[in-house]
Chain A
Amino acid sequence: MQVLFNNMKRKIICFKTNSNNYYLYSFRKRTYFLITPTLYKIITYGINVAKKELLEKQNGLSVSVFDVETVEDIEYALVKYNFFVDNGVISESVDFNILKNPDITKEIVFEEIAQCENIVLEVTQKCNLNCTYCINGKYYNNISDRRSLSFETAITFIDFILSFNYKQYKRNNLTIGFYGGEPLLEIDLIKKIITYIEDKYSSIAFKYKITTNGTLLKQNIDFLIKNKFKITISLDGDKNHNIYRKFKNGKESYNIVVSNIDYLKNKYPNYFGHNLVFQSVYHKKSSIESIYSFFKNRYNKIPGVSILSEFGLNEYNKDFFYKNLFKAFENKHNDYDNHLSSINAYFLNRFIKNNIGIYYKNSNCIEDKNVPYMRILCSCIPFKNEPFLRADGTIHRCTEIDTLPIGRVCDQTVNIDYDNILTEFNRFTEKLNMYCQVCYNFFNCDFCIYRASPFENTKKVICDEFKNYSGGTKFYKDCIQKIEDSLSHKELLTDIFYNLFLYDEFE
């Protein structure tokens, strides 16, 4: 691996698709170039081989690589190769500054807090379900005393965010996510929080989100609609796939949840269409294809799919967990590859957005020439992406990483341990930089740096998204291959190109 770190150059990605078309992918130009087989050979075998064989061919000798090409073909391909090299289409150099994860300072964290527009509150750890794979269940070490968030703690945190002034940053809006347990068990607390903040901060536009298991949806739907909640419902698929989501008495939750969703769909079809998404857990008894088919057919929705958490697993039940419940992330990708439907639209959508053309965060960035594209990984910067207040008063970076708190609400005061979070973040990114700079999937990567916890012990970074040259070539080839395969499926192509931003809706 050490050799990898010393070589900051990238090889040229070029390949032949299953349809016998040749492409090269240019990192600098951020797009694919269709190339002739002759140019492909020059890139693959090297320009010296091409020049040598051209000379031999001009002298009437037989050659091995450019055997079918004419002299004119080779000459033109060489000229074009040079043109591509001179103009950065073919380039091995890497802009170190672009391929670098950001170092953060206290000022950056201040800026993030001052601009923070999304927070998540764990209103309760209580739940009316007892899902087999729950992170508070027997497979995890999490010790939850099933407490609820106090009103004072919640508003202390919100007040801290909304009154945090730094430089001249102005905040006009805040999105609050309500999370659980099952947050609808604490509907009175949610109502109290909303009444308080809307009275106190009349100049702030509040938006609300909730992640629920759907069992209590029907009785609370009018309140949620009135406050324009974006609703995420956890449902794993049809009755068979939803088998792990049970009530405490062992009864399956599927029928009740689906009946509540159907009620919402029939009574408020417009709201259902625009404000409701599904989140499914991927496990041993499910497949991507069946999950997507279920939601597409029944609700005309594309669900989010997540794998089971591997954090904080209980050693005693670990073997059973991996044997009977857990299904690894890479299987998700395989399923994606095999399933030619809207899943491809999602996958390609993300790929195109990150790897093709010029992607701007918003239309105003177009005028800033120094903002060429954005990087997804920045979401790991504390307060950048939905800081999460747990019911016990600890503050976390997000709902996913709950083992490394960045602060605490205590006695109606918010304490943030700036020094610790800076040291931690910079230590993680410094190690990751070595990989990111040589990774061929850098721009498409949404790897969470805190998921790299295994390298604490092994001194080795485990990154699901890392792609070396061969992995990168396969990745870029697969993506254009999907497009080529889709050319005969007009509807799918339309889906891809006309819905490029569909999946930003709930970001």
Chain B
Amino acid sequence: MMNLNNCNKIYLYIEPYCCIGFSEVKSEVLIYNTITGKSLLFNDDFIFGLCKQITENGTNVTILHENQFNEILSKFVNSLRNGFFGDIIYSPDSLSSPFIFSPNLYLNKDLYSIYKNKFQEGLVNNITLLKSVRYVDVVIDNNFSINYDNLNILISEVEKLAFLKGLNIILSEFNLDSKFYCDLIVMLSNKIKFKSITVDLNLIPNFRSILNLFIKNNFLIKCNLYFSNKNEEFLKSIDEGVLNKIYNYVFHIENIEQYNYFNNLAIKYNISQFSFRFIGNDLAFVKNTLFFHRHELLATKQSISDVIKKSIFNVNYKGKLIISNDLSCYITPNFYVGNLKNDKIETIIYNSFFYDNSPWFLTRKQVEPCKDCAFNILCPSITEYELKYNCFNFCDYNVNNL
């Protein structure tokens, strides 16, 4: 027999297209509507507890009682209804609680099977591992020893990467007069379907002479430009048609003067595709430049997929691997994961998954002070600058400022 005493229910629910962020420190809750891009922020203990209930039972639904309806709750419900964040349903004849699927991403095979089989013997042979790497940066500089064994290891290991989207060969700090390097680039490019090349213009005096080689081999060329007086001379000397073949310029800057200089240069030479990369150790400059305001964050419309994937892994690093001259592999310049001479690439990728604090899975929920901030569901993934300076609050929302 059904228990009719429990039939008079009021259900409060959050729509499945909304995401909820909590700040335990501030008892704050942020509800973000991925359809409208609007958000609601509450910092009331009662509402905080209510929203916790909604998410903790995994259904986005909780039961209210009429005697709970105080002014705060009424305001909360009205805000939800007005912005289509959620609603209440008064169901005198409801026999059991309704159910709402929380938004989710379902990943087949790789991540899950790796996680599930973490401790199983023979895992490193699991081919699914090789599907995890999407982008490989091969950094070649002056220290690159002309070692064909190393080269063969590199090529054969990179060839195994089943889902490789981009092989980025980064040439820096050496003289490209040598035919060897040209042959090397062509050889690598022939092996991999997707390829791009990044060169440090200032450090390669004869870049112009090999530009045609890159264009001929259908490389996507990306140039790093550091602050120097030679930049303008160099750009002047290249035909406009060739200038456009370079798909992106990365201006390496240390201060505001350099920032202005490159901005003017880009305008003068009609360069439309460019970005800035901060170098040097001027934390104040980086912080001032990267500083973002809360209203900017809230003004960026994000899909449900954007929000969820950021909560699972770091979109800046996941699937990226840097291989240096001596075949050492890194995820970030400071995060060593193995060496191709000693380790199979499967082992290196395995390490990338399971090392503590692997940047592939470094999310805002793991670092101070972001983990206690309700806005961490919307914040972009942690960037290289934050890792470099070990500082994760490049925002105007200081969670400790209670």
Q: What residues make up the interface of A, taking CB atoms closer than 8 Å to B?
A: 17-21, 23, 29, 31-34, 36-37, 76, 80, 83, 87, 89, 117, 167-168, 170, 172-173, 203, 205, 228, 274, 352-353, 356-364, 366-367, 374, 480, 483-485, 487-488, 493, 497, 500-501, 504-505
Which of A353, A480, A501 counts the most B-chain CB atoms under 10 A from its CB?
A: A501
- Could you show 14 A-B contacts with beta carbons less than 8 Å apart? A34-B99, A172-B160, A172-B162, A203-B156, A357-B101, A357-B104, A357-B105, A358-B104, A359-B106, A362-B128, A362-B163, A366-B105, A500-B106, A501-B112
Q: When chains A and B are docked, how far (Å) is the Cα of A37 from the Cα of B111?
A: 41
Q: Bound complex: CA of A391 vs CA of B84, how far in Å? A: 62
Q: Which of B17, B108, B131 contacts A504 (CB 8 A)?
A: B108
Per the bound structure, the CA–CA distance linking A18 and B94 in Å amounts to 9
Which chain B positions have C-beta within 8 A of A358? 104-106, 304-305, 308
For the complex, give the distance between the alpha carbons of A244 and B192 in Å: 54
Interface residues of B (CB under 8 A from A): 11, 13, 15-17, 35-36, 58-59, 61, 81, 84, 87, 89, 91, 93-101, 103-113, 116, 120, 122, 125, 127-128, 130-132, 134, 156, 159-160, 162-163, 165, 192-193, 304-305, 308-309, 313, 315, 318-319
Which of A21, A172, A203, A359 is close to B108, meaning CB atoms less than 8 Å apart?
A359
A-B pairs with the 4 shortest C-beta distances?
Answer: A21-B98, A168-B193, A173-B127, A357-B104
Task: Say how far A374's CB is from chain B's closest CB, in angstroms.
Answer: 8
Question: Do B134 and A504 touch across chains, with their CB atoms under 8 A apart?
Answer: no
Name the residue on A nearest B95 (C-beta). Answer: A19
- Nearest Cβ on chain B to A167's Cβ, whole angstroms: 7
Given contacts A352-B106, A361-B108, A374-B108, 16 further A-B contacts (CB under 8 A): A20-B93, A20-B95, A21-B98, A33-B100, A34-B89, A80-B84, A80-B87, A358-B106, A359-B105, A363-B132, A364-B131, A364-B163, A484-B96, A485-B96, A493-B58, A504-B113
Shortest Cβ distance from A356 into B: residue? B101
| Cβ–Cβ < 8 Å partners of A363 in chain B | 107, 110-111, 132, 313, 318
CB pair B110 A362 closer than 8 Å: yes
CB neighbours (8 Å) of B192 from chain A are 168
Are B131 and A362 in contact, with the CB atoms below 8 A?
A: yes
A residues less than 8 Å from B305 (CB atoms): 358, 366
Are B87 and A360 in touch, CB under 8 angstroms?
A: no
* A362-B105 in contact given A19-B98, A20-B93, A170-B159 (Cβ < 8 Å): no
Complex contacts, A366 vs chain B, CB 8 Å: 105, 107, 305, 309
- Chain B residues, CB < 8 A from A504: 108-109, 112-113
Which of B15, B99, B127, B318 counts the most A-chain CB atoms under 10 A from its CB?
B99
Report the minimal beta-carbon distance from B390 to chain A, rounded to whole angstroms.
27
| In the bound complex, CA of A357 to CA of B110 (Å) | 18
Inter-subunit contact B309/A501 (CB<8 Å) = no
B158 to A: closest C-beta gap in Å: 10
Known: A33-B16, A172-B127, A484-B96. A367 touches B315 (CB 8 A): yes
CB of B125 to closest CB in A, whole Å: 5
Give which listed residue, B96, B106, B113, B315, contacts A353 with CB less than 8 A.
B106
B132 near A19: Cβ-Cβ < 8 Å: no
Separation in Å of the A120 CB from the closest CB of chain B? 18
Asked if residues A36 and B87 are in contact (CB atoms below 8 Å), the reply is: yes
Residue of A34, A83, A487, A501 touching B13 (CB-CB under 8 A)? A34
Does the CB pair B99–A228 fall under 8 Å? no
Q: Could you tell me if B103 and A357 are in contact, using CB atoms closer than 8 angstroms?
A: yes
Interfacial chain B residues near A485, Cβ < 8 Å: 96
Chain B CB within 10 A, most for which of A21, A228, A487: A21
Give the residue name and chain of the A residue nearest to B112 (CB).
A501
Docked complex Cα distance between A368 and B125 (Å)? 26
The reply to whether A360 and B99 contact each other, CB–CB distance below 8 Å, is no
A452–B340 Cα distance when bound, in Å, is 51
* Least Cβ–Cβ distance between A38 and chain B, in angstroms: 10
A407–B58 Cα distance when bound, in Å, is 51
Across-interface contacts of A18 in B (CB, < 8 A): 95
A444 to chain B, nearest CB (A): 14
Please measure, in the bound complex, the distance between the C-alpha atom of A285 and the C-alpha atom of B267, giving whole angstroms. Answer: 81
A172-B160, A357-B105 given; A19·B96 CB < 8 A = yes
> Judging by beta carbons under 8 Å apart, are B91 and A364 in contact?
no
Q: In the bound complex, do residue A167 and residue B127 qualify as a contact, i.e. CB atoms below 8 Å apart?
A: no
Q: Would you give the shortest CB distance from A306 to chain B, in whole angstroms?
A: 22
**CA A83 to CA B36, docked complex, whole Å:** 10
- Minimal beta-carbon separation of B392 from chain A (angstroms): 23
CB-CB nearest in chain B for A358: B105
Give the shortest distance, in Å, between A146 (CB) and chain B (any CB): 36
Which of A21, A357, A484, A488 is within 8 Å of B106, CB to CB? Answer: A357
CA distance A485 to B95 in the complex (A): 10
Contact, CB under 8 Å: B108 / A484: no
Given the interface pairs A32-B101, A36-B89, the reply to whether A364 lies near B319 with Cβ below 8 Å is yes
A487 and B35 contacting across the interface, CB-CB below 8 Å: no
